[in-house]
Structure 1
Amino acid sequence: MRAETLSAQQHSTRTTTHCQSGPTQYLLLSGGFAAPRKEDREMTETASLRLRSASVLGVLGEYDHEIEFQDGSNFVIVYGPNGIGKTKLLEIIDALLRMNFAMLSGKPFSTARLEFEDGSALSAAVSRIHGPAPAEERDSDFEGSLKSMREHGQVTIRLERPDGSHIDWTWRGEDQNNFELYLQRETTWIPINGGAWQDQTDGEIADLDELSMRFGWRDVRTNRKQNRPPADFVAFADRLTTHLIETQRLKIEEYMDRSPRSRNSPRNRRGQTTIVDYASKMRELLSKALAENSRVTQQLDRTFPSRVLSRDDASEVLDEVGIREKYESQNRFRSRLADIALIGLEPELALPERTLTIWEVSMLDLYLADADNKLQSFENLLEKIEALEEIINARLLRKHFAVNAHDGLVVTHTSDGRPISLDSLSSGEQHEIILMFDLLFNVEAGSLVMIDEPEISLHVSWQVDFIADVERIASLADFQFIVATHSPQIINTWWSRAKQLGPHNEEFFGPVARDAL
Structure 2
Amino acid sequence: MSDRFADQPDGTGEGQDVKATPVAEFGRLQNYSIFGLFGLYEHDFKVDILEPTMLTGANGTGKSTVLRTINWVSRGDWHSLIKTPFKRIILEFEKSRISVDKKSQHDLVVELRRPGYKTKVYNYSDSGEAHEPDFVRYARHYANMGFSREEVAELVLLERDETVQPWQLKHHGNEPGWISSISKSFPALLVSDQRLAPERRKRPKARGAGEAFDVVTAIEMAVHNINEEVQRYKSLYGTASQNLDRNFPRRVFTAMNSQRMFGSHRDISREFQELQDLRSSLAVTGLIDATEVEESISDLPLDNPDSLALISTYLDDTKEKLATFEPLRRRLDPFIEFLRRHYKGKDIRIDQEHGFRISSLRTGEDILPVHLSSGEQQMFVLAHKLLFGSVPGTLVMIDEPELSLHVLWQSSFVEDLTGISEVAGTYFILATHSPTLIAGRTDLRRSLDR
RMSD: 3.2
Instruction: Give the equivalent residue in structure 2 for 1:397.
Output: 344
Instruction: Give the equivalent residue in structure 2 for 1:202.
Output: none
- What SS class does the counterpart of residue 82 from structure 1 fall into? coil
Instruction: Give the equivalent residue in structure 1 for 2:81.
Output: 104
Note if 1:124 corresponds to 2:100.
yes
- 1:127-179 Cα offsets, whole Å, 9 max, x none, are 22xxxxxxxxxxxxxxxxxxxxxxx311100010122631111111333x536
Note if 1:430 corresponds to 2:374.
no
- What is the identity, as a one-letter code, of the residue corresponding to 2:284? D
Say whether the 8 Å CA contact 1:449–1:482 is kept in structure 2. Answer: yes
Q: Which region of structure 1 is more displaced relative to structure 2, 343-352 or 464-473?
A: 343-352
Note if 1:277 corresponds to 2:221.
yes
Listed as ranges, the matches of 1:440-455 within 5 Å are 440-455=387-402
- 1:38-58 Cα offsets, whole Å, 9 max, x none, are 8xxx9xx42423222211222
Out of 216, 235, 240, the residue aligned to residue 291 of structure 1 is 235
- 1:54-86 Cα offsets, whole Å, 9 max, x none, are 11222222111222134x625311111111000
- What is the identity, as a one-letter code, of the residue corresponding to 1:289? Y
Say whether the 8 Å CA contact 2:375–2:406 is kept in structure 1. Answer: yes
Instruction: Give the equivalent residue in structure 1 for 2:414.
Output: 467
Distance between the aligned counterparts of 1:92 and 1:102, measured in 2?
11
Say whether the 8 Å CA contact 2:6–2:113 is kept in structure 1. Answer: no
Q: CA deviation at 1:35?
A: 4.0
Q: CA deviation at 1:244?
A: 0.5
Distance between the aligned counterparts of 1:107 and 1:409, measured in 2?
41
- 1:455-513 Cα offsets, whole Å, 9 max, x none, are 0011111101111111111111111111111111112243212211123xxxxxxxxxx
- What SS class does the counterpart of residue 339 from structure 1 fall into? helix
Distance between the aligned counterparts of 1:242 and 1:126, measured in 2?
22
The change in CA–CA distance for 1:429 and 1:349 in structure 2 (over 3 A counts) is closer
Instruction: Give the equivalent residue in structure 1 for 2:267.
Output: 322
Distance between the aligned counterparts of 2:72 and 2:293, measured in 1?
50
- What SS class does the counterpart of residue 53 from structure 1 fall into? strand
Instruction: Give the equivalent residue in structure 1 for 2:327.
Output: 380
Say whether the 8 Å CA contact 1:287–1:405 is kept in structure 2. Answer: no
Distance between the aligned counterparts of 1:252 and 1:488, measured in 2?
30
Distance between the aligned counterparts of 1:111 and 1:153, measured in 2?
14
Distance between the aligned counterparts of 1:279 and 1:436, measured in 2?
12
Note if 1:476 corresponds to 2:423.
yes
Instruction: Give the equivalent residue in structure 1 for 2:435.
Output: 488
Say whether the 8 Å CA contact 2:51–2:427 is kept in structure 1. Answer: yes
- What is the identity, as a one-letter code, of the residue corresponding to 2:47? F
Distance between the aligned counterparts of 1:396 and 1:349, measured in 2?
31
Out of 91, 109, 112, the residue aligned to residue 159 of structure 1 is 112
Say whether the 8 Å CA contact 1:280–1:408 is kept in structure 2. Answer: no
Say whether the 8 Å CA contact 2:195–2:381 is kept in structure 1. Answer: yes
Distance between the aligned counterparts of 1:172 and 1:333, measured in 2?
56
Note if 1:339 corresponds to 2:284.
yes
Say whether the 8 Å CA contact 2:283–2:290 is kept in structure 1. Answer: no
Instruction: Give the equivalent residue in structure 2 for 1:178.
Output: 130
TM-score relative to the length of structure 1: 0.73
Instruction: Give the equivalent residue in structure 1 for 2:254.
Output: 310
The change in CA–CA distance for 1:473 and 1:404 in structure 2 (over 3 A counts) is farther
Q: CA deviation at 1:447?
A: 1.0
Note if 1:50 corresponds to 2:28.
yes
Out of 55, 63, 74, the residue aligned to residue 78 of structure 1 is 55
- 1:166-224 Cα offsets, whole Å, 9 max, x none, are 1111111333x536999999563698xxxxxxx6xxxxxx995xx34xxxx9xx83x43
Q: CA deviation at 1:277?
A: 1.6
Instruction: Give the equivalent residue in structure 2 for 1:301.
Output: 245
Listed as ranges, the matches of 1:213-228 within 5 Å are 221=170, 223-225=171-173, 228=174
Gaps of at least 5 residues in structure 2 are 136-153, 203-210
Instruction: Give the equivalent residue in structure 2 for 1:203.
Output: none
Instruction: Give the equivalent residue in structure 2 for 1:64.
Output: 42
Out of 16, 24, 27, the residue aligned to residue 34 of structure 1 is 16
Note if 1:169 corresponds to 2:122.
yes
The change in CA–CA distance for 1:237 and 1:249 in structure 2 (over 3 A counts) is closer
Gaps of at least 5 residues in structure 1 are 3-15, 129-151, 192-198, 200-205, 257-263, 504-517
Listed as ranges, the matches of 1:135-146 within 5 Å are none
Q: Which has the higher contact order (CA 8 A, sep 6+)?
A: 2
Note if 1:92 corresponds to 2:69.
yes
Give the % identical residues: 25
The change in CA–CA distance for 1:181 and 1:87 in structure 2 (over 3 A counts) is farther
Distance between the aligned counterparts of 2:65 and 2:253, measured in 1?
65
- What is the identity, as a one-letter code, of the residue corresponding to 2:125? R
Report the number of matched residues: 417
Instruction: Give the equivalent residue in structure 1 for 2:318.
Output: 371
- 1:96-116 Cα offsets, whole Å, 9 max, x none, are 111111111112221111111
Instruction: Give the equivalent residue in structure 1 for 2:308.
Output: 361
Distance between the aligned counterparts of 2:325 and 2:43, measured in 1?
42
Q: Which region of structure 1 is more displaced relative to structure 2, 54-63 or 480-489?
A: 54-63
Q: CA deviation at 1:19?
A: 2.1
Distance between the aligned counterparts of 1:59 and 1:239, measured in 2?
26
Say whether the 8 Å CA contact 1:54–1:67 is kept in structure 2. Answer: yes
The change in CA–CA distance for 1:47 and 1:416 in structure 2 (over 3 A counts) is closer
Q: CA deviation at 1:284?
A: 0.8
- 1:440-463 Cα offsets, whole Å, 9 max, x none, are 111122211111100001111110
- What SS class does the counterpart of residue 247 from structure 1 fall into? coil
- What SS class does the counterpart of residue 388 from structure 1 fall into? helix
Distance between the aligned counterparts of 2:383 and 2:160, measured in 1?
22
